[in-house]
Amino acid sequence: MHLALTEVNYLGDVMSQRGIEPDPQKVKAINEFGVRKCREDLQRFFGMVTYLAKFIPSLLISTHFPCQLLKQDTTWLWDKSTERDFDLIKRKKFPSRQAGRQS
């Protein structure tokens, strides 16, 4: 049992006096996500990103080109526009969400 912890990792989020923040390991996994070779790689990446989208509501707006590759009958073509959107997502900074205060 841990008493007097300053932060707690709970269900993939870090809770502390600063509020609720994403787990740094999850953010690191997104930042270090490597080569996209196939649709399954991209689905895995978007699974991670979608989980953290609660910290940046507009995060998924910038995913037009990568999302097109997830469509069923789409030929896999990773071009400059797709790479740009993919890198934009990876560079996002995930702020903390302040715990709500009741008046």
Domain for residue 101, yes or no?
Answer: no
Q: Specify the pLDDT at position 100.
A: 46
pTM reported for the whole predicted model: 0.73
Residue 60: name the closest of 75, 45, 39 by CA. Answer: 45
For residue 49, give its domain range: 7-93
Q: Specify the pLDDT at position 96.
A: 58
What is d(CA 71, CA 42) in angstroms, rounded to the nearest whole number?
11
Q: Which residue has the tokens 């940046």?
A: 56
Domain for residue 76, yes or no?
Answer: yes
Domain for residue 100, yes or no?
Answer: no
Task: List phi, psi (to 5°) of 3.
Answer: -110, 150
Q: Specify the pLDDT at position 103.
A: 34
Domain for residue 78, yes or no?
Answer: yes
Q: Specify the pLDDT at position 2.
A: 61
Strand locations in 26-68, DSSP E?
none
Residues 6+ apart with CB under 8 A from 47: none
What is d(CA 49, CA 89) in angstroms, rounded to the nearest whole number?
8
Record the tokens describing residue 65, joined without a space. 């080109």
Q: Specify the pLDDT at position 3.
A: 67
Q: How many domains does the chain have?
A: 1
Q: Specify the pLDDT at position 76.
A: 86
Domain for residue 67, yes or no?
Answer: yes
Domain for residue 1, yes or no?
Answer: no
Q: Specify the pLDDT at position 68.
A: 84
Per-residue pLDDT 10s for the chain (103 aa) are 566 778 888 888 888 888 888 888 888 888 888 867 888 998 999 888 888 888 877 777 767 778 888 888 888 888 888 888 888 888 877 765 555 443 3
Domain for residue 80, yes or no?
Answer: yes
Domain for residue 42, yes or no?
Answer: yes
